[in-house]
């Protein structure tokens, strides 16, 4: 391997030895960039890689709030402003007990390449807190969000940094945070995306990541196998915003969605989802915030596998949409043994490095999240545009734009992979295409 790439990877590990997730993301991206770096000495001369792995700014802050019993609570808030070479920092807010600086650095790093791939002018950022809304009351969630924004509002802005939702941060939390920003900043601007439609949110934003995942997968199947999703057996991990809307779009295309899982376990429903089951699932997840155990009580032919993920279910295509490293080396082996043909990531880095390698070696079509899940942030970019011009576009227009964005990303990945002698390698294609745009902007703007 080129020693420049290797030196940068090793320096990252040495500097912050405890940040394993960040190391994994850096290693995954940088190793696939080797042919690009080798072909152009400017990247080393201008220290592009060293600068790319160092966030432009990290903000950490105390988030004090009162629970319903009147007891004082303290969480830690973060915003990692990773790279603004091609546009304002852009990326979600993760609210989950697993949140650490390392996880947000990994997500902000990935986001930089993802946002570049969309073709829209958005830099990369990510933020959040180790606060978990599960088990908290409405007022507790609101008080937390208000306290969080009381500090963050001074660091963000519609032309500086535009956060959005992520794991644990849905429309409700975005609404509370936006409200507090508007009050403190005394201006109504598109400083957040994923807002409610009545206050500047874009139609199709809730569906965008899941729909985009399927649009991307559709292009992969068409190009590589000359096929579509009709009657294809699919499984999904994660029943959040991304998972549910992935299922919805797959069903529209005639696929059979037979497996899905949440924190508690996996559902195996051999008959596949239908409209009634999907409506039940949406109500269970988005309104009742309940467990999938309820699904098998209602639809008794379906099986519930306590504590399991869906990977044991034989399928044509699998969609990991929950969280990082949810699909491990041994799960990849099981999926391959059961004949899987396509893995399309809806989450960020859900497959371990070893799992990805197995898929690629076995000739399974594989797309990394930074390409296939970019529809969410893509429509966030469209929300920013609508806010700037003070107009709201109809759902049909946004969905068409989303489709165009996903086809554009797909084709950019395919072309970049081909150009550097790795045809069919979507991981390399995504990293190379995302990298080159940001790198050119960084070189052109000098040492900043």
- Judged by CB under 6 A, the stretch of 144-152, 240-248, 265-273, 376-384 that binds ligand 2IT is 376-384
* Closer residue to ligand 2IT, CB minimum distance, 190 or 376: 376
Provide the sign of the torsion angle of the four alpha carbons 99, 181, 116, 319, taken in this order: positive
Site for ligand 2IT contains 164 (CB under 6 A) = yes
* Closer residue to ligand 2IT, CB minimum distance, 331 or 383: 383
> In the 8-state DSSP scheme, what is residue 16?
S
Site for ligand 2IT contains 193 (CB under 6 A) = yes
Site for ligand 2IT contains 387 (CB under 6 A) = no
* Closer residue to ligand 2IT, CB minimum distance, 116 or 380: 380
- 151-156: which pairs have CB atoms within 8 A and are 24 or more residues apart? 151/61, 151/62, 151/63, 151/77, 152/59, 152/61, 152/77, 152/79, 152/127, 152/177, 152/181, 153/180, 153/181, 153/184, 153/185, 155/59, 155/79, 155/81, 156/79, 156/181, 156/191
126 is catalytic: yes
Q: How many CA atoms lie within 13 A of 38 on its CB side?
A: 10
Cβ atoms within 10 Å, residue 361: 10
Shortest Cβ 183–ligand 2IT spacing (Å) = 22
Q: Is 319 helix (H, G, I), strand (E, B) or coil?
A: strand
Size of interface with ligand 2IT, in residues (CB under 6 A)? 11
* Closer residue to ligand 2IT, CB minimum distance, 36 or 382: 382
Q: Are 117 and 370 in contact (CB under 8 A)?
A: yes
Contacts of 324 (CB under 8 A, 6+ apart): 21, 103, 106, 347, 348, 349, 350
Site for ligand 2IT contains 352 (CB under 6 A) = no
Shortest Cβ 391–ligand 2IT spacing (Å) = 19
**Rounded Cα distance, 85 and 36, in Å:** 19
Site for ligand 2IT contains 380 (CB under 6 A) = yes
- Judged by CB under 6 A, the stretch of 146-154, 244-252, 374-382, 416-424 that binds ligand 2IT is 374-382
* Closer residue to ligand 2IT, CB minimum distance, 167 or 416: 167
Nearest alpha-carbon partner for 63 in 171, 161, 173, 159: 173
Considering only residues 112 to 141 of the shown chain, the ones binding ligand 2IT according to CB under 6 A are: 114
Site for ligand 2IT contains 166 (CB under 6 A) = yes
Six-digit token pair at 241?
A: 């915003």
Site for ligand 2IT contains 348 (CB under 6 A) = yes
Pattern of binders to ligand 2IT over 25-44, x per CB under 6 A? --------------------
Shortest Cβ 103–ligand 2IT spacing (Å) = 12
**Rounded Cα distance, 196 and 411, in Å:** 32
Shortest Cβ 125–ligand 2IT spacing (Å) = 8
Q: Is 93 helix (H, G, I), strand (E, B) or coil?
A: strand
**Rounded Cα distance, 370 and 89, in Å:** 16
Q: Report the residue number whose CB is nearest to ligand 2IT.
A: 92
Shortest Cβ 401–ligand 2IT spacing (Å) = 14
Catalytic residue, chosen from 105, 114, 126, 256, is 126
Considering only residues 67 to 96 of the shown chain, the ones binding ligand 2IT according to CB under 6 A are: 90-92
Site for ligand 2IT contains 241 (CB under 6 A) = no
In angstroms, what is the C-alpha Rg of the chain? Answer: 21
Number of helical H runs and strand E runs in the chain: 18, 12
Q: How many CA atoms lie within 13 A of 212 on its CB side?
A: 36
Shortest Cβ 14–ligand 2IT spacing (Å) = 28
Shortest Cβ 300–ligand 2IT spacing (Å) = 36
Dump the DSSP string for 248-298.
HHHHHTT-EEEEEE-SSEEEE-TT---HHHHHHHHIIIIIS---THHHHHH
Six-digit token pair at 41?
A: 């000495």
* Closer residue to ligand 2IT, CB minimum distance, 167 or 292: 167
Sheet of strand 342-344: strand arrangement: 303-306, 265-268, 256-261, 233-237, 317-320, 342-344, 365-367
Shortest Cβ 65–ligand 2IT spacing (Å) = 23
Tell me which of 212, 320, 376, 429 binds ligand 2IT, using CB under 6 A. 376
Considering only residues 264 to 293 of the shown chain, the ones binding ligand 2IT according to CB under 6 A are: none
Shortest Cβ 348–ligand 2IT spacing (Å) = 5
Site for ligand 2IT contains 200 (CB under 6 A) = no
Q: Just list the catalytic residues.
A: 126
Residues that bind ligand 2IT (CB under 6 A): 90-92, 114, 164, 166, 193, 348, 376-377, 380
């Amino acid at each position: 391997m080129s020693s420049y790439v290797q030196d940068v990877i090793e320096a990252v590990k040495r500097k912050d030895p405890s940040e394993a997730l960040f190391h994994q993301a850096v290693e995954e991206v940088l190793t696939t960039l080797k042919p690009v770096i080798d072909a152009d000495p400017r990247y080393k001369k201008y220290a592009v890689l060293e600068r790319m792995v160092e966030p432009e700014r990290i903000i950490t802050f105390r988030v004090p709030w009162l629970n319903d019993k009147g007891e004082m609570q303290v969480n830690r808030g973060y915003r990692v402003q990773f790279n603004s070479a091609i546009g304002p920092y852009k990326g979600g807010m993760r609210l989950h007990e697993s949140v650490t600086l390392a996880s947000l650095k990994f997500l902000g790093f990935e986001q930089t390449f993802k946002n570049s791939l969309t073709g829209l002018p958005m830099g990369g950022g990510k933020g959040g807190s180790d606060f978990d809304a599960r088990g908290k009351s409405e007022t507790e969630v609101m008080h937390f969000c208000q306290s969080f924004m009381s500090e963050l509002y001074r660091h963000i802005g519609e032309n500086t940094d535009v956060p959005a939702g992520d794991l644990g941060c849905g429309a409700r939390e975005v609404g509370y945070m936006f409200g507090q920003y508007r009050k403190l900043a005394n201006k109504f601007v598109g400083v957040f995306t994923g807002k409610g439609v009545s206050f500047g949110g874009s139609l199709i934003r809730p569906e965008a990541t899941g729909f985009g995942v399927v649009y991307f997968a559709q292009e992969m199947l068409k190009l590589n196998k000359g096929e579509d999703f009709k009657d294809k057996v699919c499984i999904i991990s994660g029943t959040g915003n991304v998972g549910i809307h992935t299922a919805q779009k797959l069903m529209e295309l005639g696929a059979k969605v037979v497996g899905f899982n949440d924190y508690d376990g996996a559902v195996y429903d051999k008959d596949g989802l239908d409209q009634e089951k999907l409506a039940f699932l949406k109500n269970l997840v988005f309104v009742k915030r309940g467990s999938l155990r309820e699904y098998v009580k209602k639809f008794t032919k379906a099986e519930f596998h306590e504590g399991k993920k869906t990977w044991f279910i034989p399928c044509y295509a699998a969609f990991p949409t929950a969280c990082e490293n949810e699909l491990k080396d041994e799960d990849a082996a099981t999926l391959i043994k059961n004949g899987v043909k396509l893995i399309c990531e809806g989450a960020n880095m859900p497959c371990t490095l070893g799992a990805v390698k197995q898929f690629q070696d076995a000739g399974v079509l594989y797309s990394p999240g930074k390409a296939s899940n970019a529809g969410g942030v893509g429509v966030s970019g469209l929300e920013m545009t609508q806010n700037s011009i003070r107009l709201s576009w109809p759902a049909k227009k946004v969905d068409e734009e989303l489709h165009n964005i996903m086809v554009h990303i797909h084709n950019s990945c395919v072309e970049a992979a081909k150009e550097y002698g790795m045809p069919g390698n979507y991981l390399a294609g995504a990293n190379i295409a995302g990298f080159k745009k940001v790198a050119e902007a960084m070189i052109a703007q000098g040492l900043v």
